[in-house]
Structure 1
Amino acid sequence: MESDNPPSTVPEITEIAELHTDLARRHRATASAGDAVDPEVVDADLAALHRDGYVILRDLLSAGEIERARAAITPLLHRTGRNTFEGERTQRVYSLLERTRDCDRLVDHPRVLALLDRLLLPNYLLSQLQAINVLPGERAQLPHHDDGFYPVPRPRPALSAATVWAVDDFTEANGATVVLPGSHLWGDRRGTADSDLRVPAAMSPGSCVFFLGTLWHGAGANRTDRARLAVTAQYCEPWLRPQEAFGLSTGRDTARAVSEDIRRMLGYSIHPPFMGTVDGMHPARLLADRGAVP
């Protein structure tokens, strides 16, 4: 006897690996701004990054861009660190995207995105964004690697990457970020006792040091009588939990206002097949009623 029901047209899945497409349906998206960077420049940056674990990208922002960032950040500098790692004499400001548009270029600069596009999977996420103002008299920060809180044994590929942007001059005396070249390749070895390997990332305002999440580093001591201001942006693989819950701290109006590159990094994107959906659908639909996302 024949069934009254027509044959099913629903695909049969027998292995989870078969789910490799975006089940929430893709939205039209512009190419990454990193695509505009000369491939030879990116190759040179990557070569330094793979060799040393970090690369200094010099003079990416104009004096005007840096001064606008400084003007936006300075009124927000009230709270010092809650422990010696954050810094007893270090001011920190979180949720910068919700507070100002004048730091956006420090998140989505094409030279930075060009590296991230090669290092991480598509639709990587913004993990952290904050201003860091190291005051006179601050001690050197405990050396650490930024993706150390992900419980995956080393040595391994980096699960994240970071930038530290100089708003003030970075010098050895005023607390420039200190890096340990080659430490991204270490296994269980720790960077706390290797003072002879430490190199200050000296650079001028508008430059940034880009490093892998496996690189040992830390803020230096500020032995001067002036503060040292910076902005740091960190990024992680799209299947990891970011350090900051940007979905809670960043409103939809802000998500509409930022670039599409930043919007994807805030989580308005899908890591196939369905990581990041909202009610089974693409999260960009939450913004479509205002026309910012096609």
Structure 2
Amino acid sequence: MTVQSFPADAPTAQIVAAMRADGAAIVEDLIDEAAADRVMAELRPALDRAGLAQVSGFNGSRTNRFNGILREAPSAAPLIEHDMVVALADEFLLPHCANYQIGSLTAIEIMPGESEQALHRDDSLYPIQLAGVELQIGVMWSLTDFTAENGGTRVVPGSHRFLRSWHLPDVSNWVSSVMPKGSALFYLGSTWHGGGANNSNAPRAGLINTYSLGWLRQESNQYLECPPEIAKQFSPRLRALLGYTTHGAAEEDRIGVYRGGAVEAWMDDPPEPAWAEDRGQGAIPDHVSAQGGR
């Protein structure tokens, strides 16, 4: 039993089918090694400075974590808004919302000697379960090679079908995600997974991004993680994913509206038409002023 792997040019439908069947899939070499190295180099100072600030029984005692990804590593932007990410998020999330958003962005570096992380499902922070509805998806980008020895993310294939209950289900049939640097592990929010033990002599580093339904509260407050003065340097699509947009197209159905004053000039650059029309995202409509008038 393994997590199915696909080449970067595989049809999206094949990856979707694997995720529906197993709860996860790997796409190898989705970015080149040089791009992965750039992201890692930009994150290096932050991981060295504050990586162990989140030490806990769950996070581990020898695992560096950092959340201010776009503040420190702007070269991570193409990963966060990658076309493959958008295509899969469209498939699993868009049927259940007007638009989706980034839930969290986290760099994770498992150091040698770290033990296995407890297996878990990422959507457990939301106290609801709706039949047939995925609340979020996750993407783990490999910034180094992932192996069974160095702590490649453990996944329990088929566990997205486990119902929530008061007891821990049988998650003993896990497999390690093995993939070269520059690959991505895509998994559903309901899939049981966790970091592996690093029994090698080198760190294992990855960038894990989650995307949630647009009407849910984001796990990490992206307006503080990536405030407007930083967000404005990125594309309209990435700004929309960060949450700098409203949810819903019709005025009476929109949430996240700002009526406190003039709209900042950088917000006048809306997402590309296809993105806006498909998801109800973009700048404030022409017929609605910043004060809510018509």
* TM-score normalised by L of structure 1: 0.80
How far apart in 1 are the matches of 2:89 and 2:211? 8
Of 38, 59, 77 in structure 2, the residue corresponding to residue 104 of structure 1 is 77
Return the letter of the residue paired with 1:143.
L
Q: Aligned-pair distance for 1:165?
A: 0.6
- Tell me what 2:41 maps to: 71
State percent identity of aligned pairs.
Answer: 33
- Tell me what 2:289 maps to: none
How far apart in 2 are the matches of 1:181 and 1:243? 24
- Tell me what 2:103 maps to: 127
- Tell me what 1:200 maps to: 176
- Tell me what 1:116 maps to: 89
Q: Deviations over 1:63-92 (max 9, x none)?
A: 211111111011111321321211110000
Of 253, 268, 278 in structure 1, the residue corresponding to residue 258 of structure 2 is 278
The answer to whether the 8 A contact 2:232-2:266 is kept is no
Q: Aligned-pair distance for 1:153?
A: 3.6
Of 8, 17, 23 in structure 2, the residue corresponding to residue 53 of structure 1 is 23
How far apart in 2 are the matches of 1:289 and 1:259? 11
How far apart in 1 are the matches of 2:119 and 2:180? 23
- Tell me what 2:276 maps to: none
Of 70, 75, 88 in structure 1, the residue corresponding to residue 61 of structure 2 is 88
Q: Aligned-pair distance for 1:260?
A: 1.9
The answer to whether the 8 A contact 1:191-1:216 is kept is no
- Tell me what 2:13 maps to: 43
* TM-score normalised by L of structure 2: 0.80
Counterpart secondary structure, 1:232:
strand
Q: Which has the larger radius of gyration?
A: 1
How far apart in 1 are the matches of 2:266 and 2:33? 37
Q: Aligned-pair distance for 1:156?
A: 4.7
Count of aligned residue pairs for this structure pair:
253
Matches within 5 A, 1:147-166: 147-153=123-129, 156-166=132-142
How far apart in 1 are the matches of 2:128 and 2:140? 24
Counterpart secondary structure, 2:31:
coil
How far apart in 2 are the matches of 1:164 and 1:271? 26
How far apart in 1 are the matches of 2:46 and 2:238? 22
Matches within 5 A, 1:161-172: 161-172=137-148
Counterpart secondary structure, 2:36:
helix
The answer to whether the 8 A contact 1:164-1:208 is kept is yes
How far apart in 1 are the matches of 2:221 and 2:136? 16
How far apart in 2 are the matches of 1:277 and 1:290? 13
The answer to whether the 8 A contact 1:179-1:216 is kept is yes
Q: Aligned-pair distance for 1:253?
A: 2.5
Unaligned runs of 5+ in 1: 1-36
How far apart in 1 are the matches of 2:13 and 2:169? 31
Unaligned runs of 5+ in 2: 1-7, 271-282, 284-294
- Tell me what 1:268 maps to: 244
How far apart in 2 are the matches of 1:269 and 1:108? 15
Q: Deviations over 1:121-163 (max 9, x none)?
A: 3421101001100001101001000001111147652100000
Of 187, 194, 215 in structure 2, the residue corresponding to residue 239 of structure 1 is 215
How far apart in 2 are the matches of 1:193 and 1:222? 23
> Per the alignment, do residues 291 and 238 of structure 1 end up closer, same or farther by CA in structure 2, a change over 3 Å counting?
closer
> Per the alignment, do residues 252 and 181 of structure 1 end up closer, same or farther by CA in structure 2, a change over 3 Å counting?
same
Matches within 5 A, 1:23-38: none
The answer to whether the 8 A contact 2:108-2:205 is kept is yes
How far apart in 2 are the matches of 1:286 and 1:170? 44
Q: Aligned-pair distance for 1:99?
A: 2.0
Return the letter of the residue paired with 1:178.
R
Return the letter of the residue paired with 2:55.
R
- Tell me what 1:8 maps to: none
